[in-house]
A = this chain, B = another copy of it.
Amino acid sequence: MKDTKTLFQHGTLALLVPGLFDGTIKMDEFMKHGDTGIGTGEGLDGELIVVAGVAYQIDGAGNVNKLDSRFTLPFGNMHFADYQPLKQVDGLDFVNFPENILATGGLANSFFSVKLHGTFKTMQTRSIDKQSKPYHTLAECAGKQHVFDGEDKTGTVIAYYAPQLFNGVAVGGFHSHFLADDLSQGGHILDFTGFSGDVELQVFDNLAQSLPVNDPEFKNHDFSKDDIEGAIKASE
């Protein structure tokens, strides 16, 4: 039976901060943990979104590519979808999205996912080109991101919320990726306006946190010198 109460996470946001971008899980292993998710590829090779069991990469040029099982990731979230209808909205902007969801009450201390499907008057996403070694820091790479602006897009947002206590482990608050139904746009969401459509919610009882404990760079990195909170604020 599929465990719909558990959010799987491989890696941490913290390990991306100093540039530990090596892929430490393969797609075929990653995909065992759900049919819905987000992530990034080795070397920050694009933004990933998994919808209905199909994994897509939005690369640095903005192209939406299907991913094969050999692709590797340093960081990603996956879960088995069991979303419940929460509400319908008409004209919601990204800036009000957190408050709009948290107004439901009793959610702030739990991990949950929100799925939006409908039309977006504007949608601004970003992706990063695949970086090569030696990797720069996440903040330096985020400065080289490509930004894509869409209008009147119909598509899906997969967002994950982590309680503030877990900031650094994950993104404290919301972390949201987009995919247009016609695959004309996708990526990590920087902004959207005028969303009209369905809002669905899935609350998790458990976080299954997987760490790349056999990766030499991860094992031996001194995280005490990294400004994890600052880098997340700057780049997410």
Known: A219-B106, A221-B109. A209 touches B211 (CB 8 A): no
Interface: A1 (CB within 8 A): no
Which residues from B are CB-within-8-Å of A166?
A: 169
Indicate whether A165 sits within 8 Å of B221 (C-beta atoms), given known contacts A209-B209, A211-B205.
Answer: no
Taking a contact as CB atoms under 8 Å apart, the answer to whether B205 and A207 are in contact is: no
A228 CB, nearest partner CB in chain B, Å: 7
Classify chain A's interface size. 20 to 34
CB distance from A202 to the nearest CB of B (A): 12
Query: Does A94 belong to the interface (CB within 8 Å)?
Result: no
A-side residues, CB < 8 A to B, are 12, 14, 105-111, 163-166, 168-169, 203-211, 213, 216, 218-224, 228
If A105-B220, A205-B213 are given as contacts, then 4 extra A-B residue pairs at C-beta distance below 8 Å, sorted by A number, are: A109-B218, A109-B223, A111-B211, A207-B211
* A and B contact pairs by CB, cutoff 8 A, 19 listed: A12-B165, A109-B211, A109-B223, A110-B211, A110-B213, A110-B219, A163-B223, A164-B224, A165-B168, A165-B228, A166-B169, A203-B213, A205-B210, A205-B211, A205-B213, A206-B210, A207-B209, A208-B209, A209-B209
